[in-house]
Amino acid sequence: MTSQTLREARKYEEASEKMITRIERPAFHLSPRTGWMNDPNGFSWYDGKYHLFYQYNPYASQWGPMHWGHAVSDDLLHWEYLPAALAPDEACDRDGCFSGSAVTLPDGRQLLMYTGVVRERQANGGYSEVQTQCLAVGDGVDYEKYEKNPVLDEKDIPEGSSRYDFRDPKMWQEEDGSYRCVVGNRAADGSGQILLFSSPDGFEWQYEKVLAGNHGRFGRMWECPDFFPLDGKWVLVVSPQDMLPSGFEYHNGNGTLCLIGEYCRETGEFTEMSDQSVDYGIDFYAPQTILTPDGRRVMIGWMQNWDTCNHRRKQEEAWFGQMSLPRELSIKEGRLYQNPIRELEEMRTGRVSYDNIIVSGTVRLEGIRGRRIDMELTVRPVEGCDLYRKFAVRFAQNELYYTSLSFRPGESVLKVDRKFSGSRRAIIHQRRSMVKHRGGELKLRMVLDRFSVEVFVNDGEQALSAVLYTDQEADGISFIADGTVSLDVTKYDLV
């Protein structure tokens, strides 16, 4: 039975989506049907399609009462909206259906686990949100909340751990058919920790252990965990709040990192070996992964940063928030690699390519422009010339605006900067990252989709994402060298 709250949300989104024309949205990055979007939820392959749910406030382009929006796709690039899947309409979730995940049950139904939020009056008159884990079961369109909700609450967490910070369950199924999930939580010392739970059937859950603890290393609370095997290792992805920068890592305040290590399925023991930022740009948070039917591990994140949500197109806008490109993951030499899913290549048309262009000063190239493009660049020093000091590509450019990606080989630093992208807000608009290069040779792939750029460095060694709201007419691209470089460029339009 659909509740009144959900029926209203469905009616509202159907009517107000019509107010948004296609060109006002990204073309192949999922944006909310209407209103506000944050984290990807319930990312899954179900009944012959990819399903992606998302944290959703249909009624405003601001965070608010959390619903789950819903969309499906055959290739993770072309999305079709389905009616909102969950609304805050039960005693266990009346103040929000927060992030969670999805698995398929043996009987073919889809099981969603999400965080139910209930505001609780505190002695000082303020409110805190009590968080529990809840279930809903459905057929890929309509979901029925489980009558025994919540299935995990304060009774199921270690002594002293916070019942106010206990959220974002990510489930998976083991080979023996049983289920596991990881949930973000705060330990008695206030530091983030990831709890592991198990279930024989997806409905009865029990606490196993602390899978990983922050112990004051990376920020405070750890949100939105994901945990999966990849190339012989196990990867724990978490999104810590309130991080301190360390060298060139963890500059985002709220950012996403991964811990790569070994996991023993019998004991549930995770042994960390290394840590790194997942995205070195400005906008990336709370990602989820799936295993595709052909065995690829693919990740989608919220292409946004909580700290820069005032960076908007305009105050009154019909939608806010978008997902990142789906990225294929791998591990090479102990590091996480990310590349756009290969299906993106099927959208390529209008190839324009140049080899060995000598750039000294500013160069524009015939046919190289656009705001929905996939562009590969290789930049290298020129024999007989000194090592160049700086190479930059300016894009989304017109007389007034541009965003730039610049590289200084002497410092090994790549910088994305959207200060001149048209934003009228004095918030963080740039990020610098250390990159590897061979004597000044660097490979970049840039994917633009109207309101964003995602950069993949050296065939996936690093990714940098940033949203930009520059007028769409600003579609120029230019290349600039301080010194002399040789440049190869291949650009495709994405349609």
User: For 284, phi and psi rounded to 5 degrees?
Assistant: -165, 130
Pairwise CA distance, residues 16 & 438, whole Å = 51
Strands (E), 231-318: 233-240, 257-264, 269-277, 285-291, 297-302
Find the shortest distance in angstroms from Cβ 35 to ligand FRU: 13
Task: Indicate whether 115 belongs to the interface with ligand FRU (CB under 6 A).
Answer: yes
Which residues 123-152 are close enough to bind ligand FRU by CB under 6 A? none
CB of 102 to ligand FRU, least distance (A): 15
Using CB under 6 A, pick the residue from 31, 38, 256, 423 that binds ligand FRU: 38
Residue 307 or 461 having the CB closest to ligand FRU: 307
Q: What amino acid occupies position 361?
A: G
Instruction: Report which of 320, 300, 241, 295 is spatially closest to residue 454, judged by C-alpha positions.
Output: 300
* Whether 22 contacts 318, CB under 8 Å: no
Nearer to ligand FRU, 65 or 370 (CB): 65
Task: Count the Cβ atoms, other than its own, within 10 Å of residue 178.
Answer: 12
Which residue is closest to ligand FRU by CB? 98
Binding residue for ligand FRU, selected from 224, 238, 282, 375, defined by CB under 6 A: 224
Q: Which of 55, 185, 214, 308 binds ligand FRU (CB under 6 A)?
A: 55
- Complex with ligand FRU: residue 115 or 185, whichever CB lies closer: 115
Residue 243 found at the interface with ligand FRU (CB under 6 A): no
CA angle 320, 76, 183 (to 5 degrees): 70
CB of 20 to ligand FRU, least distance (A): 22
Q: Which is nearer to ligand FRU, 168 or 343 (CB)?
A: 168
Distance of CA 8 to the CA centre of its chain: 28
Tokens, residue 368: 């190289």
For residue 444 the two structure tokens come to 């970049």
Instruction: Tell me how many residues contact ligand FRU (CB under 6 A).
Output: 13
Query: Can you tell me which of 34, 99, 199, 423 binds ligand FRU, judged by CB under 6 A?
Result: 99
The two beta strands, 35-46 and 319-320, are parallel
* Residues 343/346/347/349 CA torsion (nearest 10 deg): 150
DSSP 99: E
Cα–Cα distance, 102 to 480 (Å, whole number):
47
CA angle in degrees (0–180, nearest 5) for 400-283-295? 130
Interaction residues for ligand FRU, span 158-177 (CB under 6 A): 167-168
Q: Active site residue: 39, 165, 283, 449, which one?
A: 39
Query: Please, what is the minimum distance in Å from the beta carbon of residue 487 to ligand FRU?
Result: 38
Q: What is the DSSP letter of 445?
A: E
Taking the complex as a whole, how short is the minimal distance between the CB of residue 250 and ligand FRU, in angstroms?
Answer: 17
In the list 183, 212, 278, 286, the residue contacting ligand FRU (rule: CB under 6 A) is: 286
Report d(CA 98, CA 117) in Å as an integer.
Answer: 7
| H/E run at residue 448 | strand 442-449
39 binds ligand FRU (CB under 6 A): yes
420: number of Cβ within 10 Å: 16
Residue nearer to ligand FRU on the CB measure, 168 or 449: 168
| Binding-site member from 66, 195, 414, 446 for ligand FRU (CB under 6 A) | 66
39 is catalytic: yes
Give me the least distance between CB of 287 and ligand FRU, in Å please.
11
Binding mask 419-458 for ligand FRU (x = CB under 6 A): ----------------------------------------
Binding mask 333-372 for ligand FRU (x = CB under 6 A): ----------------------------------------
Q: What per-residue string of b and e applies to 421-454 under the rule 16 or more CB within 10 Å gives b?
A: bbbeeeebbebbbebebeebebbbbbbbbbbbbb
Distance, in Å, from the CA atom of 135 to the CA atom of 145, rounded to the nearest integer, reads 6
Q: What's the min distance (Å) between Cβ of 474 and ligand FRU?
A: 30
Binder to ligand FRU among 223, 283, 374, 454 (CB under 6 A)? 223
Q: Is 4 helix (H, G, I), strand (E, B) or coil?
A: helix
CB of 244 to ligand FRU, least distance (A): 19
Task: Catalogue the active-site residues.
Answer: 39
Site residues (CB under 6 A) for ligand FRU?
A: 38-39, 55, 66, 98-99, 115, 167-168, 223-224, 285-286
